[in-house]
A and B are shown apart, each in its own frame.
Chain A
């Protein structure tokens, strides 16, 4: 994905210029696009936030958990006959196919997360390794998964799969909101509410909160820590699988072996922005980051500025308010 962007022609003599009229003109469309992308960031961010809350680990390989899901979506849909052009199928069968793709993507991502936890992180926990070791392992695992995909599927992006034609639905402030945007944002919000309720109300969710607060005490109180950690990874994986479906819906030809990495870093930035360890914060951070990135892109006039803006925001948030907007609250606030 990034390599395609690199051949962008650069014409202006000033390398940075603020195009304010363009921002005003495109304000609402940028906002809605940003919300849509932000919802996807938010779904990925939950995976980072949960694992960070429970293990205090930036799970760098979570972006690969996501990209495995995206490959699952593309492969399943191409097998079902979807292609670059708009599919000529009745609505009911499209919905059925999409639900099938969603479930398989969730399974693929969750399975990747599970294997990752078992193979890479569990042996380290047994050895009581320092945090730097965990982090380097996460990076190594991320690389290993990325280049396994590279070997199997090659360096090129997968052929596009268009799921359905986006239909205009509303007209807000002269900007058209299409059906894709509505589906993605609403589905993301519903999934987030479900996750939030899962953590607040269920037995496993209570376990996650307990381990996040104090792993040793939780173990003494009869919480099976290993099981809780597995559940955490799997929940993150399921949401990443859902994010993968929406991502492919939005960017049909954006599935490439290394496409997850930068997206993952941005999702992590979203998690930090909202308050790491906080599920609601992940969604809020994702939406905000999506919007701000889009404003930045239009203001500065090149799509690559989105990444720069996202990273700068991450740094600013960490410097000014490291606990993020909603604070860290999966367990208790932590150092």
Chain B
């Protein structure tokens, strides 16, 4: 959508108020959940928090409730399915920082997931000759290691623009997968067994975080997701987040306005990578086994599908996308073989018909700007035409 298509006050328009009314209606920004989103945004802050608490409680109870139609039983264990959904959601939130906020197309995200998994495996599995540390400590270590990898990959490649970056990250993903096969210390297909778990044993002597027991793993992951969402949300509202959105919308303009684009792109890459590593470590712990088989390009694209499906740039959307991408093949086991086909077609259709996903990114900053502008202009009486919406409409496309 070009910049000139925004509404303008034409000489023929009767009053300026009419023009503002027309522009105040959200026309193109909607999603499937637009009425819901509108009502949500209309609620007072306290009520929003109350509802969030309810949602969180339900989310925590999810593996225990085992709702009849929703459940993935008998095909797949419901608690493990919950864990799977949660880890996809966490990955989608991480990838959303890179793709959704900063607009950098990363097709090798699974590499960070792999690095996180291998870090956890190398530091806890009895098969590895390295120093062994308690499992919970591997989570921060895995985050640090993947963040390092993110910076190492980002510094040379982030000087490239858009589509070149996509192909280089794709190559990086493949390199990590191939190295996992070639390097003897990483044990290729044999992999690492008996990866550590958080401490604690139940009354019957079984460890609480057993590989077959999805519920505690799900709770752990959900807690981590909530923490990550709070942190990412704060980042999004901070100077860093504003810089990311500026880079996503127009990198040249951002650079000219004094945003150190390179620095913030590396930031986005590093933070996205560390969240990927975090989920990799959790995954390794839950499965208890890591080899080179799960880190192919297809998985990377599935992660991307999750973010795009939910709505790139909207963390709740990404969360939803991750849950959907994990849930559908588990619930409808008959179609599990077709999942890549379905998500491939879904990617094409979403891009053609609703390129912003189920829950579109909110143009929060632009919305603030518009409100402020309107206040100023209405105080001055009927002064300038509302030109500010031009930017909003242009950016929304």
Q: Residues of A with Cβ closer than 8 Å to B?
A: 2, 5-8, 10-13, 15, 56-58, 119-120, 123-124, 127-137, 139-148, 150-151, 258, 261-262, 265, 268-269, 272, 302, 304-305, 307-308, 310-312, 314-315, 318-319, 322, 335
Contacts and interface: CB of A to CB of B under 8 A. Distances in A.
A6 B163 contact: no
Interface residues on B, range: 35 or more
A137 B189 contact: no
21 contacts: A10-B184, A10-B188, A13-B184, A15-B179, A15-B184, A15-B185, A58-B167, A131-B163, A132-B162, A135-B166, A137-B347, A137-B351, A139-B347, A140-B344, A265-B167, A272-B164, A304-B182, A314-B171, A315-B171, A318-B157, A318-B164
Interface in B312-346: 337-338, 340-341, 343-346
A135 B345 CA distance: 14
B355 interface: yes
Contact of A262 (B157, B162, B174): B174
Contacts of B397: 128, 130
A315 B352 CA distance: 31
B183 interface: yes
Nearest to B248: A132
Most chain A CB within a 10 A radius of its CB, from B2, B157, B166, B178: B178
Contact of B341 (A2, A148, A310): A148
A125 to B, nearest CB: 11
Interface of B: 1-2, 103, 105, 107, 156-157, 159-164, 166-168, 170-172, 174-175, 178-179, 181-185, 188-189, 292-293, 296-298, 301, 304-305, 308, 337-338, 340-341, 343-348, 351-352, 355, 397
A292 to B, nearest CB: 15
B156 A8 contact: no
A304 B301 contact: no
Contacts of B170: 265
Given A6-B189, A129-B355, A147 B344 contact: yes
A281 to B, nearest CB: 16
Given A133-B351, A141-B344, A143-B341, A58 B166 contact: yes
A96 to B, nearest CB: 37
| B-side interface mostly | helix
A147 B132 CA distance: 41
Given A135-B105, A142-B344, A144-B341, A129 B183 contact: no
Contact of A136 (B105, B160, B161): B105
Contacts of B160: 318-319, 322
| A-side interface mostly | helix
A147 B329 CA distance: 15
Nearest to A9: B188
A193 B175 CA distance: 34
A133 B351 CA distance: 6
A56 B166 CA distance: 14
Contacts of B298: 143, 258
Per CB-CB distance, the 9 closest pairs between chain A and chain B, nearest first, are A140-B347, A143-B344, A311-B171, A147-B341, A144-B344, A15-B183, A140-B348, A137-B351, A147-B340
A311 B175 CA distance: 8
A151 B341 CA distance: 9
Contacts of B103: 132
Contacts of A57: 163
Nearest to B178: A304
B301 A143 contact: yes
Contacts of B348: 119-120, 137, 140-141, 144
Nearest to B300: A139
A141 B346 CA distance: 9
A268 B167 contact: yes
Contacts of A134: 351
A137 B344 contact: no
A140 B346 contact: yes
Given A123-B352, A150-B341, A304-B178, A139 B163 contact: no
Nearest to A48: B167
Contact of B174 (A10, A265, A335): A265
Most chain A CB within a 10 A radius of its CB, from B181, B298, B304: B181
A117 B76 CA distance: 39
B225 to A, nearest CB: 24
B157 A315 contact: yes
A141 B159 CA distance: 28
Contact of A6 (B171, B175, B292): B292
A145 B338 CA distance: 12
Nearest to B343: A143
Given A135-B163, A304-B178, A314-B167, A6 B188 contact: yes
A137 B166 CA distance: 13
Contacts of A135: 105, 162-163, 166
A135 B167 CA distance: 10
Contacts of A56: 163
B231 to A, nearest CB: 25
Contacts of A119: 348
Nearest to A58: B163
